[in-house]
Structure 1
Amino acid sequence: MTGESTRTHLYTKPTIFSDFPNVMAAESTRHGGVSPEPFASLNLGINTDDDPANVTENRRRFFAAIGADEASVASSYQVHGTSVLVVSEPGRFEGYDALITNKPAIWVGVTVADCVPILIYDRTNQAVAAIHAGWRGTVGEIVSKALAMMHNQYGTVATDCNAYVGTCIDECSFEVGPEVGEQFASAFKRIDPTTKKDCVDLKGANRQQLIDFGIPASQIAVSPFSTIEHNTDYFSYRAEKGQTGRMLAVIGILG
């Protein structure tokens, strides 16, 4: 399913969750904040070189816009790994690239600036997941591991899930060396005719992990936006050579 979404100035709201009034999911843009270049303007990344006061104000604006309290958010210092945190209380953690919870009024979130954010909602068990998947996390099947953890913890089954594969670097822009390309199935890479390098489809590879778990394709949406092609609206680590801000993708069950 193509990723239909409702985009405001500050954030995109994936419509794949719109039939469920008790869940809120959002993905920030780079607009509406106070940060100067090269972090202009809604930089939500705590671990960037931006002035912390700017990030604090940006996060206040974002959470106010989506109707959330930042004190109710659980997030992690991400390490491009495959560890999944079962969240029982809000806070700032370290070493996890996926967070799951079934606690109402707790938001789980991940920061990105080319990597893929994946949001999942289990409507029967009222559980959610926020996942950060770069190429390492994708190869390590972090989406599959997060879903397995949801099944073990909450009894999640595939047909009860809706999922969103968010804005990231698209296949047309993600050139990689052979040491990375060889780790991806042929279905998710192509050879660029000009550079002769592999171009990897992170969206497609992570969507496939959702499907392999058994989530129907009709219950999966994929963002139509690209951090490279739509760099005026989204931060891109690659396009901006590492000096840029971070978006935030969050999901939570309303209390």
Structure 2
Amino acid sequence: MQPSEKAKELFRQPTLLSSLEGLVVAESTRHGGVSPQPYASLNLGMNTSDDPANVAENRRRFFEALTIEPDRVASSHQIHGADVLLTTEPGRYDGYDALITNQPDLYLAVSTADCVPVLIYDQRHRAVAAVHAGWRGTASGIVSLTLKAMQEQFDTHPGDCYAYVGTCIDETSFDVGPDVAEQFGPNHKRIDPFSGKAFINLKSANTKQLTDFGIPAAHIAVSTFSTVLDNKDYFSHRHEKGQTGRMLAVIGLRPS
């Protein structure tokens, strides 16, 4: 079933992955919800100060637009760590920043508002992963750890995988202190020659973990959007000084 034009304002889908049969993959925008400022309008975050009734209605709209039953979603209270959970049941877990499963009709979701959502699909073994990669998770190699877990659990091979590196804070907007900068290699870090500030490219750092595993570059889609530069369409914790909503990135397989 194709979403209606009105439903499409609630999310965007990477063409590379959404064209694969039976795969649901999407990340929400900030449009089409009921939340007032500063959460306007499709705030899907359960750990914000928004009215829980607004969040519940927003989530209902988002999942309905994707024709997903909310009680078939698995997510976790994220802690900016690097722990990976193998899950076979929907529900709200605690303490994991990456989820993996090979169960159909189980949809994995991660919450973001500057951090990187990374969605992975093993087409041969019909297994999926949803990863929340902030700078801490990226520096800890959470994408690499997730792929290792998929390899151990599902016998995942790189050539069978497709991945999406989603919308996050862009490199020009993500200046960091020296303690953070030293955790990133030169290919993912830029030092401004005038100010001396360091800027980190989270998209490239996470893409590198995918290609280091062996996933072909042609199997990887990278969002062209920024939570800061495209703040009219996405929430940004940094740009909005913490007073903002959250997006969801979701991946899963339709039942046969």
Q: Which range, TM-score by smaller chain?
A: over 0.9
Match of 2:48 in 1: 48
C-alpha contact 2:82 2:141 (8 A) present in aligned 1: yes
Question: 1:69, 1:57 → 2: CA distance?
Answer: 13
Question: 2:184, 2:99 → 1: CA distance?
Answer: 24
The letter of the residue matching 1:252 is G
- Structure 1's consecutive aligned runs of 4 or more residues displaced over 4 angstroms after TM superposition are none
Shift of 1:21: 1.7
Question: 2:108, 2:14 → 1: CA distance?
Answer: 16
Shift of 1:41: 0.3
Match of 1:15 in 2: 15
Q: Which whole-Å deviations, capped at 9, do the CAs of 1:14-53 have from their partners, x for residues lacking one?
A: 1121331211101000000000000000000001000000
Instruction: Report the secondary structure of 2:173's partner residue.
Output: coil
Match of 1:3 in 2: none
Question: 2:156, 2:43 → 1: CA distance?
Answer: 34
Question: 2:146, 2:65 → 1: CA distance?
Answer: 28
Question: 1:121, 1:104 → 2: CA distance?
Answer: 12
Question: 2:246, 2:151 → 1: CA distance?
Answer: 30
Moved more, 9-18 or 155-164: 9-18
Instruction: Report the secondary structure of 2:13's partner residue.
Output: strand
Match of 1:243 in 2: 243
The letter of the residue matching 1:204 is S
The letter of the residue matching 1:156 is T
The letter of the residue matching 1:142 is I
Match of 2:85 in 1: 85
Shift of 1:191: 1.1
Question: 1:97, 1:243 → 2: CA distance?
Answer: 22
The letter of the residue matching 1:224 is T
What residue ranges of structure 1 are gaps of 5+ in the alignment? 1-6
Q: Which whole-Å deviations, capped at 9, do the CAs of 1:53-72 have from their partners, x for residues lacking one?
A: 00000000000001111100
Instruction: Report the secondary structure of 2:215's partner residue.
Output: coil
Shift of 1:194: 4.1
C-alpha contact 2:8 2:65 (8 A) present in aligned 1: no
What residue ranges of structure 2 are gaps of 5+ in the alignment? 1-6
Question: 1:8, 1:224 → 2: CA distance?
Answer: 18
Match of 2:197 in 1: 197
Question: 2:8, 2:229 → 1: CA distance?
Answer: 18
Question: 1:70, 1:124 → 2: CA distance?
Answer: 27
Counterpart check, 1:177 vs 2:177: yes
Instruction: Report the secondary structure of 2:74's partner residue.
Output: strand
Change (3 A) 1:194 1:58: farther
TM-score (norm 2): 0.96
Shift of 1:192: 2.2
The letter of the residue matching 2:187 is A
Shift of 1:89: 0.3
TM-score (norm 1): 0.96
The letter of the residue matching 1:120 is I
RMSD: 0.9
Match of 1:253 in 2: 253
Correspondence 1:160-175 to 2 at 5 A: 160-175=160-175
Counterpart check, 1:76 vs 2:76: yes
Instruction: Report the secondary structure of 1:190's partner residue.
Output: strand
Shift of 1:208: 0.1
Match of 2:103 in 1: 103
Question: 1:53, 1:194 → 2: CA distance?
Answer: 48
The letter of the residue matching 2:88 is S
Instruction: Report the secondary structure of 1:117's partner residue.
Output: strand
Q: Which whole-Å deviations, capped at 9, do the CAs of 1:145-182 have from their partners, x for residues lacking one?
A: 00000000001000000000000001010000000001
Question: 2:45, 2:54 → 1: CA distance?
Answer: 10
